[in-house]
């Protein structure tokens, strides 16, 4: 195929030899299958800041470490310099997160580096060697849904132990490889300690997974892994291999409990409606 503009510098530098095909283009990024020597990899090209909400990124980046104080100040402001720094930081965040998470024992695509604003990483494949489907695209048995839920909850625990929350975890940011699910798409990772919204984001991440996988294993709807792991994390008791029960006694004194329970119920209802829709479609 004709080499996309954004990948030309990588070919000139010899980072990649050939662009084989486009894999997926969303609102945030375009992903291509590329060849580097004998290896097939993928390249993620980020879209312009114009395509994303600036405000949203300011919120996400609250609490994230920035190199110099000038940069930190600039990033907080919507100045031209601020925007440039913001853009730079956004693009670097995903590759930094991938290296950090690999180190922490989280299963993520192996990064091969960040070049000219492009992330080159392992292409996750299915049993046939084709690009792996997303969790949201596959039908599961109850057993597999339970197993994947366990694996994914463990990945979230390991991420949290390394100080990070995904922030946009859903069945569409999980790939299904032959040996299990792999979390992807990290440009919006949130610092677990410095961000006021961290707990709410963690609960939303876990709840998205539970709401999705509960369609095949409805008993998952009665689990509270997000709440449980956050309570342990806050108490300084969470370890990468900490055993979780999925049970949780809510602290009645917490002011925002109602709204969290509401959002959880909303997500569960949504999942149920989707499931009923599917069943109705199958009956047709
Ligand atoms: N390492 C990878 N291996 C295989 N497919 C990938 C990989 N990274 C991304 N993809 C595919 O590209 C899509 C978009 O990538 P993603 O990182 O989720 O960016 P965004 O959702 O911001 O556009 C994913 O949903 C997935 O289908
Ligand atoms: Mg995505």
Confidence of residue 59 (pLDDT cuts 50, 70, 90): very low
Q: CA quadruple 149, 137, 3, 29: dihedral positive or negative? A: negative
Whether 230 has a pLDDT exceeding 60, the answer reads yes
Ligand 1 center–CA 228 separation, angstroms: 29
Whole-number pLDDT of residue 180: 97
- Which of 256, 118, 268 is closest to 197 using CA atoms? 256
- Annotated catalytic residue within 13, 96, 168, 258: 168
Asked about 168 being catalytic, the answer comes back as: yes
User: What CATH number belongs to 5-283?
Assistant: 1.10.510
Alpha-carbon distance of 256 to 265, in angstroms, equals: 14
6 pLDDT above the threshold of 90: yes
Q: Whose CA is nearest to atom 17 of ligand 1?
A: 185
Q: How confident is the model at residue 58 (pLDDT cuts 50, 70, 90)?
A: very low
pLDDT, position 51? 45
3-class SS at 101?
A: helix
74-129 pLDDT, tens digit per residue, is: 555 556 655 565 555 555 899 999 999 999 999 999 999 999 999 999 999 999 99
Pocket of ligand 1 (CB under 6 A): 23-24, 26, 28-29, 31, 42, 44, 109, 121-124, 131-132, 134, 172-173, 175, 184-185
Q: Give the helix/strand (H/E) hosting 88.
A: helix 80-103
For residue 44, is pLDDT > 50?
yes
**What's residue 265's pLDDT?**
72
Q: Kindly state the tokens that stand for 180.
A: 């299990």
pLDDT greater than 90 at residue 45: yes
Work out the average pLDDT over 139-152. 98
- CA–CA separation, 63 and 49 (whole Å): 20
Residue 118: the pLDDT is 95
Q: Which ligand is nearest to the CA of 168?
A: 2
> What is the percentage of the chain residues whose pLDDT exceeds 90?
68
The ligand whose atoms approach the alpha carbon of 44 most closely is 1
């Amino acid at each position: 195929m004709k080499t996309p503009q954004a990948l030309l510098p990588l070919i000139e530098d010899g980072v990649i030899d050939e662009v084989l095909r486009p894999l997926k283009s969303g609102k945030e990024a375009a992903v291509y299958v590329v060849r580097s020597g004998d290896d097939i990899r993928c390249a993620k090209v980020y879209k312009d800041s114009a395509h994303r909400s600036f405000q949203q990124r300011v919120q996400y980046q609250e609490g994230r470490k920035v190199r110099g104080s000038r940069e930190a100040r600039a990033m907080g402001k919507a100045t031209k310099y601020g925007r440039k720094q913001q853009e730079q930081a956004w693009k670097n965040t995903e590759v930094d997160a991938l290296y950090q998470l690999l180190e922490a024992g989280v299963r993520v695509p192996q990064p091969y580096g960040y070049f000219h604003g492009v992330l080159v990483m392992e292409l996750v494949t299915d049993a046939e060697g084709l690009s792996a489907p997303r969790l949201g695209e596959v039908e599961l048995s109850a057993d597999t849904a339970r197993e994947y839920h366990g694996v994914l909850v463990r990945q979230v625990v390991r991420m949290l132990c390394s100080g990070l929350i995904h922030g946009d975890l859903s069945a569409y940011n999980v790939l299904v490889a032959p040996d299990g699910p792999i979390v992807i798409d990290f440009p919006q990772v949130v610092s677990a300690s410095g961000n006021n919204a961290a707990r709410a984001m963690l609960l939303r991440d876990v709840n998205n997974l539970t709401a999705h996988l509960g369609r095949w294993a409805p008993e998952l709807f009665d689990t509270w892994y997000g709440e449980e792991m956050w309570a342990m994390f806050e108490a300084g008791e969470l370890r990468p291999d900490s055993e979780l029960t999925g049970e949780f006694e809510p602290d009645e004194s917490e002011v925002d409990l109602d709204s969290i329970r509401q959002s959880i119920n909303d997500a569960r209802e949504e999942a149920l409606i989707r499931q009923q829709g599917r069943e109705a479609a199958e009956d047709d």
